[in-house]
A and B are shown apart, each in its own frame.
Chain A
Amino acid sequence: MAKITIDGKQLEVDNKLTIIQVALEHGIAIPHFCWHPRLSVAGNCRICLVEVEKFPKLVIACATQVTDGMVVKTNSPKVVNAREAVMEFLLINHPLDCPICDEAGECKLQDYAYKFSEGVSRFDFEKVRKPKRVELGPNVMLDVERCIMCSRCVRFCDEIAKKPQLVFIQRADHVELTTFPGENLDHPYSMNTIDLCPVGALTSRDFRFKARVWEMSSTDTVCPGCARGCNMKMWVRNNEVLRLTPRYNPEVNDYWMCDYGRLNTFKYVNAENRIKAPLIRKEGVLANQTDSGLVEVGWDEAIAKVASELKSFDEDEIAGLCSAFATNEDNYLFVKLMNMLGVKNIAFLQHLIEGDEDDILIRADKTPNNRGVREVGLTSSINGSGWEIILRRIDEGTIKALYVIDDDPGADPRVAETLARLDFFVVHASNENDTTKLADVVLSSSTYAEKHGTFTNFQGRVQRIRPAVTTAEQDRALDGFAMSRLDKFGAHNDRWMQGPKCDARPTWRILTCVANALGAKWKHNTVEDVFNEIAATTESFKGMSYMKLGLRGMLLKTKVEVVAAPIHA
């Protein structure tokens, strides 16, 4: 331990730490570009210079370990002067293109220029010209002129992703970031370099020029791309998801997320093929190639139809399919509904891609809630009838009705053939797919971007998802959504205030409606009520609440791996 003083504050700290680590831990901001808590110390940006008493010169806070009796000043006139000088150097060759730069608004250089720079340039020569719009890889675009050579991206590729693909060439003011000739920046984590880049040098090819960052709201949620459940922020403007960025959670994903999750888990929320209202197959409306034969109806009609149809079958003639894509709450209520009907044939599908995994984040299980489904529902209710058995019984004609939530079993043509034999088939779905084409009733369900709920990741960590996109029955302000400035101060007739909304409901709510139409008296007004019921009735969730889960989630009480019923995709 070392006793040190920073800006008059006396602290007792671990003497293995550096000044910048100690300062940040105690809420003292020291500006930094090249330093990052998870990367090696490069010490090349020089903006973190601080004054230490008895040291002849200013030192960089990122590379100086604390020692006993150290007296550090982070804001003395000497430091302020040095910072200003560093900023002047950094800005000499930096283009003045903030108005068209994607990074503007979340740019460290821009922020520090406001805070620490004089605002005047004494440099009246022509700036160095370097390549612009360099396609570094499939997902990342590089503007070399904007680069301040902090080397965060280079170190990330070397140290975290373990795929050295970036390098600086040349020297002095000719330095350029590049890949080796003929190679691309194409590893599965390449887009983290965009978040790391303190300036607009590395930008996302997917998100480029889509929006200014201050126009979007950002919502803390969880990626549903695989069983890891990376914490992330969802950025929305005009009720449309525009990008996803990782959110720090040391227990799950640290500061990172993979490119697959970042690019593929939001497109379907905005997609053209969203189911915009409940659909029913009506007599007289024929299916053809362009039209699946389903007609839009109101919620009351659709739910009444489901309830009356379900009543007309024996309990053994009905089967249910939960979903590892749906939340704990959805699955819990689904199993509860099936239990109420006396249905024993319940299963869920695994979505494994063998081999598509690594030691960093990516898991072979491509569902966010595999563990959760087993935890809240199946183990306590199922009597061993797996999906294969259900399919066989449909073929035999002993199972006549099937209730599916938020999954797409019909994607397998062999299964689709079997499903076509059903007398009654109800599906909760957010997008049109091979399964909805076969359904008699499609209940338009919210995507994970439109509802509250929890996923349980492969570690057994229960994490909250939060809605970022509104459905027809929600309002950003009244329902407590994250709001951008545009959302707060725009009028309803303004641009970007009129994004389309789907008439979708979260699965847990649809299930409550169906159960109540069947005569139950469920009183779940909010999804939190459902979660509290899970916490009260399920041993491994004991003591949990939405408040306690917070931003980092909580581990299930049981660490014992639950043996799943024989379930096959």
Chain B
Amino acid sequence: MLSEQNLKKLEELKKRYPTTKALLLPVLWMAQEQFGWISLDTMKYVADLLNLPFHHVYGVVTFYTMFNSKPIGKYHIQVCTNVSCMLRGAENIRDHICRRLNVGINETTPDRTFTVTEVECLGSCGTAPMVQVNNDEYYDNLNLEKVNKLLEDWSKK
């Protein structure tokens, strides 16, 4: 169930989109913000909410990589390994994070704190290498010390 607040937001959004099909992306985004990820049940719920076939919602969720169809940790660390970041040592950073947290790519730590994924360019090439955490926090100009510091801070929180 979407929260009271989100449902209110949905009513607002409905005015801005011509069809419920077009409304699907913002609603899924809302659902992901609220639940952290999008389960099959959530997809069914959203499909009913917008009067769309389940299948269509399923297709959309799997199409966009930024919709998580598996549960993720509190901190979703997205390491960019595209050209600029790679040239500035992104692969080292990626391997370092994985080693420290003792997880592989696309895996979540057992305490559900961290999930590590590898992503394509996030448009921060001038300050490479970088990682994005959750939906909008960028951490750039990284080196191993900075990464250690960040991980420690997050573990404490």
Contacts and interface: CB of A to CB of B under 8 A. Distances in A.
Contacts of B53: 158, 164
Contacts of B37: none
Most buried by B among A166, A179, A180, A181: A180
A169 B63 contact: yes
Interface string A402-427: 00000000000000000000000000
A167 B58 contact: yes
B56 interface: yes
Contacts of B54: 180, 183
Contacts of B62: 169-171
A180 B63 contact: no
A545 to B, nearest CB: 49
A165 interface: yes
Contact of B63 (A165, A170, A181): A170
A171 B55 CA distance: 15
Contacts of B55: 164-167, 179-180
Nearest to B69: A169
Contacts of A168: 59
Contacts, number: 26
B40 interface: yes
Interface residues of A, number: 13
B8 to A, nearest CB: 29
A164 B53 CA distance: 7
Interface string B11-44: 0000000000000000000000000000010000
Contacts of A171: 62-63
Contacts of B58: 167, 169, 180-181
B110 to A, nearest CB: 26
A166 B55 CA distance: 7
A181 B47 CA distance: 14
B40 A167 contact: no
Nearest to A172: B63
Most buried by B among A166, A167, A183: A167
B56 A164 contact: yes
Nearest to B52: A164
Contacts of A166: 55
Nearest to A175: B63
B119 to A, nearest CB: 15
A180 B53 CA distance: 10
Contacts of A164: 53, 55-56
Contacts of B56: 164, 167
Contacts of A183: 54
Nearest to B47: A180
A169 B58 CA distance: 7
Nearest to B63: A171
Contacts of A181: 40, 58
Nearest to A163: B53
A165 B63 CA distance: 17
A152 to B, nearest CB: 16
Nearest to A154: B55
A158 B55 CA distance: 10
Interface in A125-178: 158, 164-171
B2 to A, nearest CB: 21
Contacts of A169: 58-59, 62-63
A166 B40 CA distance: 16
Nearest to A176: B62
Contacts of A158: 53
A179 B53 CA distance: 12
Contacts of B40: 181
A44 to B, nearest CB: 14
Interface in A170-203: 170-171, 179-181, 183
Nearest to B56: A167
A183 B40 CA distance: 12
Interface in A285-310: none
Interface string A425-440: 0000000000000000
Nearest to B64: A171
Given A167-B56, A171-B63, 5 more contacts: A158-B53, A166-B55, A168-B59, A169-B62, A183-B54
26 contacts: A158-B53, A164-B53, A164-B55, A164-B56, A165-B55, A166-B55, A167-B55, A167-B56, A167-B58, A167-B59, A168-B59, A169-B58, A169-B59, A169-B62, A169-B63, A170-B62, A170-B63, A171-B62, A171-B63, A179-B55, A180-B54, A180-B55, A180-B58, A181-B40, A181-B58, A183-B54
Please give me the 9 A-B residue pairs with the lowest Cβ-Cβ distance, nearest first.
Answer: A167-B55, A169-B62, A164-B53, A167-B59, A180-B54, A171-B63, A180-B55, A170-B62, A164-B55
